Amino acid sequence: MTQIIPIETEVKLRIPSTDAMQPLLAALSFLPVEPMQDEESTLWDRDGELLSKGCALRLRTYGGKCLLTWKGPQQPDPLLKIRPEIQTFIVDREAMEGILSALGYAPVFRITKRRATFKRDSLEACLDETPFGCYLELEGDPRAIRLAMEHLGLNASHIEPRNYAMLFQAHELAARA
């Protein structure tokens, strides 16, 4: 049996505030899914094996749920982040951490932010608040992402190409300097 690996397509955009973006999302028929709340993500790796391949293994707790996600290498695109992604809900986070440890993985980076999620048709919107700014992530159909950006008054100059791990690491380095 051959498994077809789903492809995640998303864009991360710098925004001035999450409060100002919520009515704009509502005007585009996005409906709230999860209210603003803490999200904790831990990245796992085995001696840099995943990072060296451009992959990531994340254990995320958000909205009372725990999710294990594997992300494959990013495909080239001038605007969007496109990469294979497999994820599943986890019933017991501590047990999953034990399994990952038994397989030789170790936590390499922990990220905490605040997130609210919204959805419409083939598009999900996440509003994120971090210590270094606010972001809007749009995930789904590439055409729908581009149209939503246009209707929200956002363009390529708002795109943040770095992932949250890179952003948090840069913020920690700047705070130490």
- Sole residue written with tokens 């290498």: 73
Domain 7-176: CATH superfamily, name plus number: Hypothetical Protein Pfu-838710-001 (2.40.320.10)
Note the residue count of the chain: 177
Q: What are residue 61's DSSP bridge partners?
A: 40, 66
Arithmetic mean of pLDDT, 147-165: 95
pLDDT at 73: 97
Neighbours of 61 (CB within 10 A): 16
pLDDT tens for 33-90 read 999 999 999 999 999 999 999 999 999 999 999 999 999 999 999 899 999 999 999 9
pLDDT digits (tens, 9 = 90+) for 120-146: 998 999 999 999 999 999 999 999 999
Q: What is the pLDDT of residues 41-57, one digit of tens each?
A: 999 999 999 999 999 99
pLDDT value of residue 1 = 64
Question: What's the per-residue H, E or C state across the chain?
Answer: CCCCCCEEEEEEEEECCHHHHHHHHHHCCCEEEEEEEEEEEEEEECCCHHHHCCCEEEEEEECCEEEEEEECCCECCCCCEEEEEEEEEECCHHHHHHHHHHCCCEEEEEEEEEEEEEEECCEEEEEEEECCEEEEEEEECHHHHHHHHHHCCCCHHHECCCCHHHHHHHHHHHHHC
Domain range list for the chain: 7-176
What burial letters (b/e) apply to 118-155, b meaning 16+ CB within 10 Å? bbbeebbbbbbbbeeebbbbbbbebebbeebbeebebe
